[in-house]
């Protein structure tokens, strides 16, 4: 059974801000699914619809087999939700936060005590269980946030930007925690992220979202493998990007080319053979090159291929 089904979701906010423009995807039971996109792409709005915190203007969705509009209470009982903003009480201890959440979910007695102990162990928080949360590190607070979403053993867990605000070391540690979680709890996880490497690391499958639309869906490897050839990035010394794009796109060895500021990005069947040809073509037209790199296709290249825009530029603009 599909754990999540979204069909043609639409949402428009005030002043005709089109947040979602027909978002559709499915998440299979038991998989880790990523919604990858830059800031402002519509990821959080999608999640808020799926967890019944807002209603769509059009389309339909089911979570754990329940329609989010017709059966919102059943959806809420079946899910855990970890929003971007932390929901922990910083003046209570980690254990007190988990106990309170369990009681809100109808748990009590030995069952709740066992579950709290399980989660403290799973998220490596047992040593700090009785400490006040305001003394936790950012990574510890975020792990507690995720634990709160799991107290009642949901079928589906929603993680909205689970590592935003963490330093690189804490982010990698959280990836390890989430990978163990997916195996230990045997539940469906939908996470949103604007970190390309996070989606690549964690997601069994993902949908890339841009400007309120899903532009492509598949496993990270499938999406990267579908792009033939190598990614060639050329840093232009004088910034004449439009001229460079026109020149390189005409070369027989180049599959596609685009420019973002002073960087020309091209795909070629054989990057090592294409680089001398590209450099020669640019230099013969008086376009000096500062540097050049070759790499296998990444999710950044996938985004560029399907949207015609650079992911990081879109992310900065959305922020």
Mean pLDDT of 79-89: 92
DSSP letters spanning 186-216: --EEEEEES-HHHHHHH-SEEEEEETTEEEE
pLDDT computed for residue 215 by the predictor: 96
pLDDT computed for residue 165 by the predictor: 82
How is residue 160 written in tokens? Answer: 């909205």
Q: Beta-strand (E) ranges in 168-287?
A: 188-193, 205-210, 213-218, 230-236, 254-260, 263-268
pLDDT computed for residue 310 by the predictor: 86
Rounded distance between C-alpha atoms, residue 92 and residue 134, angstroms:
8
Which pLDDT tens digit goes with each residue over 35-71? 999 999 999 999 999 999 999 999 999 999 999 999 9
Does position 241 have pLDDT exceeding 80, yes or no? no
Which pLDDT tens digit goes with each residue over 120-132? 998 999 999 999 9
Does position 279 have pLDDT exceeding 90, yes or no? yes
All structural domains of the chain: 2-223 (3.40.50.300), 228-296 (3.30.70.2470)
Mean pLDDT of 240-253: 87
pLDDT computed for residue 40 by the predictor: 92
């Amino acid at each position: 059974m599909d754990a999540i089904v979204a069909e043609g979701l639409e949402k428009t906010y005030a002043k005709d801000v089109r947040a979602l423009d027909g978002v559709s995807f499915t998440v299979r039971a038991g998989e880790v699914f990523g919604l990858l996109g830059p800031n402002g792409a519509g990821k959080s709005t999608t999640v808020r619809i799926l967890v019944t915190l807002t209603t769509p203007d059009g389309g339909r969705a089911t979570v754990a087999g329940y329609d989010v509009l017709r059966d919102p209470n059943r959806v809420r009982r079946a899910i855990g939700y970890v929003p971007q903003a932390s929901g922990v009480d910083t003046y209570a201890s980690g254990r007190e936060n988990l106990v309170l959440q369990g009681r809100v979910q109808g748990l009590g007695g030995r069952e709740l005590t066992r579950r709290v102990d399980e989660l403290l162990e799973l998220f490596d928080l047992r040593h700090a269980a009785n400490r006040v949360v305001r003394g936790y590190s950012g990574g510890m607070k975020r792990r507690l946030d995720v634990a709160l979403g799991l107290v009642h053993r949901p079928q589906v867990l929603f993680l909205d930007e689970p590592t935003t605000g963490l330093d690189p070391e804490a982010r990698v540690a959280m990836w390890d925690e989430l990978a163990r979680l997916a195996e230990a709890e045997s539940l469906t996880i939908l996470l949103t992220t604007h970190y390309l490497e996070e989606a690549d690391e964690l997601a069994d499958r993902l949908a890339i979202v841009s400007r309120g639309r899903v532009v492509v869906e598949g496993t990270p490897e499938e999406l990267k493998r579908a792009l033939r050839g190598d990614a060639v990035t050329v840093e232009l010394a004088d910034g004449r990007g439009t001229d460079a794009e026109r020149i390189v796109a005409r070369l027989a060895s180049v599959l596609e080319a685009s420019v973002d500021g002073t960087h020309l990005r091209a795909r070629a069947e054989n990057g090592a053979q294409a680089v001398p040809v590209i450099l020669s073509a640019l230099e013969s037209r008086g376009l000096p090159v500062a540097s050049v790199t070759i790499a296998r296709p990444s999710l950044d290249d996938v985004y560029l291929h399907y949207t015609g825009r650079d992911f990081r530029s879109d992310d900065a603009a959305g922020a």
